[in-house]
Structure formats: structure tokens, C-alpha cells
Amino acid sequence: MTRTGTTKPTKPETPEAPDTDTSADTDTSADTDTSAEADAGAAETSETKSAKAKPDEPEESGKTEESGETKADEAEAQKVGERGTGRRAWARAPARAGLVKATIAVALVGSVITAGLQWYQADRAAERDAERQRVRTSAAEFGEALLSYDHTKLQEARNRVLGLASDDFAKTYDEAFTGGLEGVITKLKADATATVRSVYLGEIESGTAKAVVVMDSEVKSTSGTRRVLGSYLDMRLTRRGEEWKVTEVTSVGSANETMTDPKGEQKKPDSGAPSPAPSP
């Protein structure tokens, strides 16, 4: 048997690409990759440099913006504070104005009250002085009327006394005058004059008053001249409306009394023309 020899098939060789093409492709790819890598590296380098050159630029920008906002906020806060201060000052201003007005009002009220009290006290003092003056005038007028007369005008003298006396005293005096004094004065043709030396006032209250009138008087008649210096008339007076009337009078005495006859010779004070008698 014939052995047939077999030949193993050989693996066909893969045709190699031409060197030029492969080289070109390789080179092109390499060049492309290298160029891309180079561009990326350059860009990366540029970014790195830029980042290194200005690493904080975004942060600074942020800070600048933040700083600007902060300054704006501070400015706004300052304005608000100023407005608040203004409002507070405005709020304090009315309060201070109100306090000043209240103080002035209190001072004015105090001044008015003080002035009112002073006016009241002055008015009361003036009223008391006026009252005392009325008492003094009434007492002095009564003393002059009692110790002054003209024998030819006795009714006028009598009426003057009655006009200054209270009803009770007027009655008492009228009885004494018409009961004997009028006849004696007429018989002796006596004329009397009197002047008031001074008036001393006592208590004035509840419509009553006390007074002492110091008188100097002189009586001329057919029996001679009688002088009485410093005689004291103690009086009691009562107010009747706006007038003061004498209710009682007493002769206390005199400091000096003399009597001379028509020839000028001294006589005892008991003799001579009578004077209107005070009330008992």
C-alpha cells in the first residue's frame, strides 16, 4: 500500500501592511495623540499657570462682593441707626418739651397760688387797717362832739353827739343833756372847744372795739376859763353796718386842769362852767 504523503497546510501569512502606510498611520495616530496630549497639557499648563497666577481671584471677587455688600449693609445700618437715633431724639424731644411745659405749668400755678395768697393777705391787712381807721375816726369825732358846743347852738351840738352814739347811749345822753346840762350852759353862756391829741385802739373783734381818746379842751363862760389838757375818754364802740357807734364812754382823768376867773385869777378846777358829762 502506497503511503501517500500528506502535506500539512501552511497557515497563510497575513500580508503585512506596507511600511509606509503603517508608518504613516502610526505616525499620524501618534502625532495626533501626541498633539492632543500636548494641547491638553498646554491647556492644563495654561490653566495651572493661570490658577497659580490668580489662585484667589474668584475668592477675592467673592470677598470684594461680600465686602461691598458688607459696606452697603453697614451704610444701611448706619442710616437706619441714624434714623433710629433721629426717632429716639424725636421721641425724647417731645418728652423733654412736655417736661418743660409741665415744669412751667407747675411754676405758673405756684406763682398764681403765691400771688393769690399774697393778694389775699394784703387785702385782709388793708381791710383791717381800714377798719381800725374807721374806729379811730369815729372815736375822735365823738370826743370832739362831746366836749365842743356853742351856747347859742346847743341843738346842733346835741345832734352831733346823738349821731355818733348807739341807740342806748344816745338815750342816756339825751336825758342828761335835756335834764340839766342844757340849762347850765345856757345860763353861763358857755362855749367849749376841743381837739384830739391822740387815739389809742384796743381790740377790734366781732363787731366791737375799744379806744382811748386823749383830748385837750377849753371852756369859756361868764364865770371864767377852764382848760383841761390830756383828758382821757375810755370808749366802747359797736359796728352798725359800715359805721362805728359809741356805746359807752368814761372820763378817766386829765394830766393838767386849770381855772381862771374873768379877772385872770386862778381858781379851783371844780368851779366854773360845766362840761357835757360822760356816760355813768
With 70 as the cut, is the pLDDT of residue 56 above it? no
What are the backbone dihedrals phi and psi of residue 56, each rounded to the nearest 5 degrees, phi first?
-110, 10
Residue 110: the pLDDT is 72
Alpha helices in the chain (DSSP H): 19-53, 57-147, 154-164, 167-176, 182-188
Contact between residue 269 and residue 258 where contact means Cβ atoms under 8 Å apart: yes
pLDDT tens digit sequence for 177-235? 988 889 999 999 999 999 999 999 998 988 999 999 999 999 999 999 999 999 999 99
Residues in Cβ contact with 164 at an 8 Å cutoff, skipping those fewer than 6 apart:
138, 141, 142, 145, 245, 246
Q: What is the Cα–Cα distance from 41 to 20, expressed in whole angstroms? A: 29
The rounded distance, in Å, linking the Cα atoms of 18 and 3 is: 43
Find out whether 237 and 245 touch, Cβ atoms under 8 Å. yes
Q: Tell me: the pLDDT tens digits for 6-43?
A: 444 444 444 444 444 444 444 444 444 444 444 444 44
In this predicted structure, what is the pLDDT of residue 7? Answer: 44
Domain assignments of the chain as residue spans, ordered by start: 137-267
Which top CATH class is 137-267?
alpha beta
User: 226: closest CA among 194, 180, 261?
Assistant: 261
